[in-house]
């Protein structure tokens, strides 16, 4: 007896459709399944995931999802997600699409409700619009399934899915079905090695990592971590591409872009390991330690960090960067007291203080040191106390220990080479003591 495992993916409003799948599978297994010796087996989070605290719900599901032969997606009137939380269904769909492209999953099905409930609020209308937009994207990838109603007609979800799964059971693509305890997603290391292609996100954080746009809109990349990635690629025979990343892109879906997207990345170079980022990513190769510091005008009355808490101040921070996270998340500074810089160059926050348009900027010590050295006329100073100290390294997707170990081993090996070691020493010298070795 062999098994064909089916992963069921949908937003929360598709509970009726999910419920009838058990009956569909039982009917097929009692007939074609017994005749062919091949049984269908559902994986639904509500039935198969063990409860766990301490992780985001989607991460709990991802961590316990086995490798499946068939992905079965369903969408009616809700898209899922909300705020900074990405749609779990969209994430599962893109993971499955990567598996199909990498030949590690046999088949994908996606069913859209042709007669979804009509929205009764603005929020519901926006949700349905997102569903329509996603449907248009999926329709470009092949043929979708559609249904009207859960069951009771030839267009019902129950009837359509039963017909299609019975036909699928005869397909040669599913002749080597398996039950595997591994994740639904193949390891990112396996994807990188199969494509011979590593894609690195690069932050604007010189001299550790940097990018510049030329006059013809081309991008040049530089910095210690960029040179480190190039050395890894040269040693392992990989092609390496770099993608510029702005600080406001640091959200839970930073690694969720499909493989075909030119901005899809496998890791991000030179990133502070902050508490918020640990909610959606893992960190490795924390080679350096850098302080977060507060910068004020020369003539400011602010002398210590305690002064920051007791005064009405205008805070200049770069959205998504560690200073912004500290001011907004840790100190809970109100939005009307913040000047949010939506610019990849963190130093822009310092120029606001220098121009007396803001009272304090929270930036890393490397950025502050370089800004003061390049703008000696700027009338600003650093408070002596450090706000926080961060490990700086490489950010990788969550819960992919195979890829994390590969990154750690390969980047650590390159770091030990004489040429890279010399570049690191020069980088630390250029930062005037603002960067120290952590590991």
Can you state the percent helix, strand and coil of the chain, rounding each to 5?
40, 25, 35
- Domains recognised in the chain with CATH numbers: 2-184 (3.40.50), 187-439 (3.40.190.10)
The answer to whether residues 49 and 64 touch, using CB atoms and an 8 Å cutoff, is yes
What is the predicted pLDDT for the residue at 177? 46
What is the predicted pLDDT for the residue at 173? 67
The CA distance from 220 to 330, in Å, is 35
What is the predicted pLDDT for the residue at 274? 92
Q: How many Cβ atoms sit within 10 Å of the Cβ of residue 418?
A: 7
The CA distance from 236 to 173, in Å, is 33
Q: How many Cβ atoms sit within 10 Å of the Cβ of residue 123?
A: 10
Q: How many CA atoms lie within 13 A of 132 on its CB side?
A: 8
What is the predicted pLDDT for the residue at 281? 92
The answer to whether residues 73 and 111 touch, using CB atoms and an 8 Å cutoff, is yes
Residue 168 backbone dihedrals phi, psi, to 5 degrees: -65, -30
Q: What's the pTM value of the predicted model, to 2 decimals?
A: 0.60
In angstroms and rounded to an integer, the radius of gyration of the C-alpha atoms of the chain is 26
DSSP string, 78-97: ----BTTBPPHHHHHHHHHH
Helices 157-168 and 15-28: crossing angle in degrees, nearest 10, is 40
Helix (H) or strand (E) holding 411: helix 401-415
CA nearest neighbour of 207 among 439, 427, 401: 427
The CA distance from 175 to 245, in Å, is 43
Estimate to the nearest angstrom the gap between the alpha carbon of 202 and the chain centroid: 14
DSSP secondary structure letter of residue 33:
I
CA distances from 106 to 44, 68, 168, 257, 359 (A): 18, 8, 10, 21, 58
DSSP secondary structure letter of residue 261:
S
CA nearest neighbour of 268 among 392, 393, 394: 394
Q: How many CA atoms lie within 13 A of 108 on its CB side?
A: 23
The CA distance from 436 to 439, in Å, is 9
The CA distance from 75 to 127, in Å, is 11
Q: How many Cβ atoms sit within 10 Å of the Cβ of residue 49?
A: 16
CA distances from 41 to 23, 167, 186, 190 (A): 12, 16, 20, 26
3-state DSSP of 323-378? HHHHHHHHCCCCHHHEEEECCCCCHHHHHHHHCCCCCEEEEEHHHHHHHHHHCCCC
What is the predicted pLDDT for the residue at 335? 60
Mean pLDDT by runs of 10 across the 439 residues of the chain is 85 94 93 82 88 82 79 94 76 85 76 94 92 94 95 94 90 56 58 90 95 88 98 96 91 76 89 90 96 93 84 84 79 69 78 92 92 92 91 92 93 96 95 89
């Amino acid at each position: 007896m062999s098994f064909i495992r089916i992963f069921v993916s949908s937003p929360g409003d598709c509970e009726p459709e999910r419920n009838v799948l058990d009956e569909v599978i039982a009917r097929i297994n009692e007939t074609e399944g017994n005749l062919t010796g091949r049984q269908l087996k559902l994986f639904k989070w509500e039935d198969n995931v063990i409860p766990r605290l301490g992780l985001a719900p989607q991460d709990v599901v991802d961590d316990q999802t086995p490798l499946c032969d068939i992905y079965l997606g369903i969408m009616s009137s809700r898209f899922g997600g909300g705020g900074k939380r990405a749609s779990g269904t969209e994430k599962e769909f893109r993971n499955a699409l990567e598996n199909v492209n990498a030949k590690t999953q046999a088949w994908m099905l996606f069913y859209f409700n042709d007669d979804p409930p009509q929205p009764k609020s603005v929020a519901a209308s926006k949700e349905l619009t997102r569903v329509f937009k996603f449907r248009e994207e999926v329709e470009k990838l092949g043929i979708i399934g559609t249904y009207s109603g859960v069951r009771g007609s030839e267009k019902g979800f129950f009837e359509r899915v039963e017909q299609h799964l019975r036909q699928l059971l005869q397909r040669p693509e599913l002749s080597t079905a398996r039950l595997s305890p591994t994740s639904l997603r193949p390891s990112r290391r396996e994807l990188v090695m199969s494509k011979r292609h590593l894609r690195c996100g690069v932050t604007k954080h010189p001299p550790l990592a940097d990018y510049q746009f030329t006059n013809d809109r081309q991008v040049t990349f530089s910095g210690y971590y960029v040179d480190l990635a190039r050395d890894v690629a040269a040693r392992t025979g990989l092609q390496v591409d770099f993608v510029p990343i702005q600080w406001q892109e640091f959200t839970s879906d930073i690694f969720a872009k499909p493989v075909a997207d030119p901005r899809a990345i496998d890791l991000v170079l030179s990133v502070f390991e902050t508490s918020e980022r640990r909610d959606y990513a893992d960190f490795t190769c924390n080679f350096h330690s850098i302080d977060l510091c507060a910068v004020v005008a020369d003539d400011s009355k602010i002398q210590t960090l305690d002064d920051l808490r007791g005064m009405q101040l205008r805070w200049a921070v770069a959205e998504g960067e560690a200073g912004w996270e500290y001011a907004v998340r840790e100190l809970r500074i109100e939005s009307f007291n913040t000047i949010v810089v939506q610019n990849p160059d963190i130093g822009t926050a310092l120029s606001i203080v220098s121009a007396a348009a803001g009272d304090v900027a929270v930036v890393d010590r490397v950025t502050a040191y370089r800004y003061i050295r390049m703008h000696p006329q700027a009338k600003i100073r650093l408070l002596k106390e450090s706000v926080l100290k961060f490990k700086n390294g490489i950010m990788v997707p969550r819960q992919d220990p195979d890829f994390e170990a590969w990154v750690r081993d390969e980047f650590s090996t390159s770091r030990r080479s004489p040429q890279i070691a010399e570049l690191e020493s020069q980088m630390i010298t250029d930062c005037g003591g603002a960067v120290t070795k952590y590991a």
